[in-house]
Every structure is written in C-alpha cells, then in structure tokens.
C-alpha cells in the first residue's frame, strides 16, 4: 500500500462574511521533475502533481495544471471572499502516477 501524501489547508485573515481571506494549501508530495539523477547516476522517475482543483461550497473557484516548476512541498495560496453563510473550502489534486488526495476545511465564521 502506498504511503499517504499529507496536505493541509489553512486561512489567513478574519473569517467574517464579505471579507477577503487568503487560503493556503501545502502538500507533502515528492514533486520529482524527472531531470535529477541519484548517486549511482540513474535518473529519478518523474512524479509531479498534474491537476489541482479548489472549491468553495462545491463550486470550482480555481483550477491549476502545474508542471515541473513546483518544488516539494507543493504550496498554493489564493484569495477568496467569505460567503455570508460560511461553508467549506476543498482542495483536491491528482498526480501523473494516478495518486490523488483531498483536504477540506470549514469556514468557521467569527461573531
């Protein structure tokens, strides 16, 4: 069984309706470009995230097709406006070897 790839989603800013906050996603993916070689001179196989999708209350707000330019750990920050009712932000990813993952975080509104 493959080792799970850990990821985390957090917010920076006041979680109040109508406010803009920064969502920060970090994923402990190896992000091997396929260009490096190991100590014996053998090329290290490519293993990168190829698709990222961010959703706010089940609606897609961001899609990305990253390439070999992301280093490990993969990091993505994006802005979003906090909805009146709050809700959930989810980030899902897929890599070139078929592995995938998802992390969700509730928007707990401040009084």
Q: Which fold has domain 7-107?
A: Immunoglobulin-like (2.60.40)
- Quick one: pLDDT band at residue 39, thresholds 50, 70, 90? very high
Mean pLDDT of the chain: 95
Mean per-residue pLDDT for 12-22?
Answer: 96
Three-state secondary structure readout of the chain:
CCCCCCEEEEEECCCCCCCEEEEEEEECCCCECCCCECCCCCECCCECEEEEEEEECCEEEEEECCCCCCCCCEEEEEEEECCCCCEEEEEEEEECCCCEEEEEEEECCCC
pLDDT at 53 over 70: yes
Question: Is the pLDDT assigned to residue 84 strictly greater than 60?
Answer: yes
* Entry pTM: 0.91
């Amino acid at each position: 069984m493959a080792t799970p790839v850990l990821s985390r989603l957090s917010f920076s800013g006041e979680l109040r309706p109508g406010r803009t906050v920064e969502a920060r996603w970090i994923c402990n993916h190896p992000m091997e470009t396929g260009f490096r070689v190991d100590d014996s001179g053998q090329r290290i196989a490519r293993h990168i995230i190829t698709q990222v999708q961010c959703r706010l209350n089940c609606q897609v707000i961001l899609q990305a097709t990253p390439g070999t330019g992301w280093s490990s750990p993969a990091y993505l920050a994006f802005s979003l406006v906090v909805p009146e009712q709050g809700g959930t932000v989810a980030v899902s990813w897929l890599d070139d070897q078929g592995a995938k993952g998802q992390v969700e975080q509730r928007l707990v509104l401040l009084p």
